[in-house]
Amino acid sequence: MRLFALALALICGVANAQYPTKPVRVVIGYAAGSSTDIVGRVMTDRLAAYWKQSVYVETRAGAAGNLAADAVAKASGDGYTLLFAQNGLAISAAALPNLPYNAERDLVALAPVAATPHILIVANEFPAKNVQELIARGKAEPGKLSFASSGVGNSDHLCGELFNLMAGITAIHVPYKGGAPAAVDIMGNRIGYYFAGMPVGLPLAKSGKARALGVTSAERFAGAPDIPTIAEQGLPGYSATLWQGFFAPSSVPPELAGRIAADIEKVMSLHETHEKLAGASVTVWAGNQADFKRAFSADIAKWRDVVKKANLKLD
């Protein structure tokens, strides 16, 4: 028995040392053209170059990323199926107790990639020119303003709910099937406001196709320092970040999970990776697997509190 265990350990060690020896599937739960899809494809390209192996995206959009998360949670623990997710995963874990998987039990956080603020955008024709005017309009016409999201329970949805809660306004939530169609209706002035992911919203603001009112970080975003934070426009303490990173099924052996995490961390340290992510309008999250695990747990706790205070029903 002891000889068998030793042989198995040796076999696993050799397999881990050679990983990957075949294509790696990365499942993304958001539509093509969404912020997470854009960043995820940058990373699959960079990993493919580093591993000298095919790394391909499988899109399973819908249910705030939970279709993708459930598929990966139930996938083989051989390391060849990974999840690229954003903090909609933490929001779902906080707010939806009846999911067919448990994010904290069935998935293991591998490595962070980006942590970027959302950008609050409106149509160029929208009457409010800043956050104070948007709040004033919401208070003057309670329940008449509308705000977009890429789907119920996604990060942009909860950014809007947190904003409304702290501003003391009510607005109609209009979920879309992704960030791109939400942005289209913003540009067409068919929806009030949208906390877009930076890869979607910032190019619209810079090109003059939409107006940026603020960013959701505590400090101004380095990629657009002229855009004020929401906190400095009358909502002190408002802060929300769109993070993205890699997960694996918890059935992946810890040694292999650590190996994959270390490889992603190495790719994240490369200058070309930083350039590619900067080109996608995101901020690199320089952290390791332990950092990511702690942050994931903390984010679940944060959004559980927001969902409770706002009395949100996301299921």
pLDDT digits (tens, 9 = 90+) for 146-196: 999 998 999 999 999 999 999 999 999 999 988 899 999 999 999 999 999
Portion of the chain with pLDDT greater than 70, in percent? 95
pLDDT of residue 6: 45
What does the pLDDT read at residue 229?
A: 98
CATH 3.40.190.10 fits 118-233, yes or no: yes
Range 228-242 average pLDDT: 95
Please tell me the distance from the alpha carbon of residue 6 to that of residue 205, in angstroms, as a whole number: 59
Q: Tell me if the bond preceding 181 is cis, omega within 30° of 0.
A: no
Beta bridge partners of 175: 149
- Domain 2-116+242-310: give its CATH code: 3.40.190.150
Task: Kindly report the average pLDDT of the chain as a whole number.
Answer: 93
Alpha-carbon dihedral of residues 20, 56, 47, 68, nearest 10 degrees? Answer: -90
How does 79-98 read in b/e, with b if 16+ C-beta sit within 10 Å? bbbbbbbbbbbbbbbbbbee
Per-residue pLDDT, 14: 47
**What confidence tier does 244 reach under pLDDT thresholds 50, 70, 90?**
very high
CATH 3.40.190.10-classified regions of the chain: 118-233
Q: Which residue has the higher pLDDT, 12 or 111?
A: 111
pLDDT at 1 (0 to 100): 46
- Can you state the angle between helices 88-95 and 289-310, rounded to 10 degrees? 50
pLDDT in tens, 260-271: 999 999 999 999
Does residue 300 surpass a pLDDT of 50?
yes
pLDDT of residue 178: 85
| Region(s) of the chain under CATH 3.40.190.150 | 2-116+242-310
Residue 17 pLDDT = 67
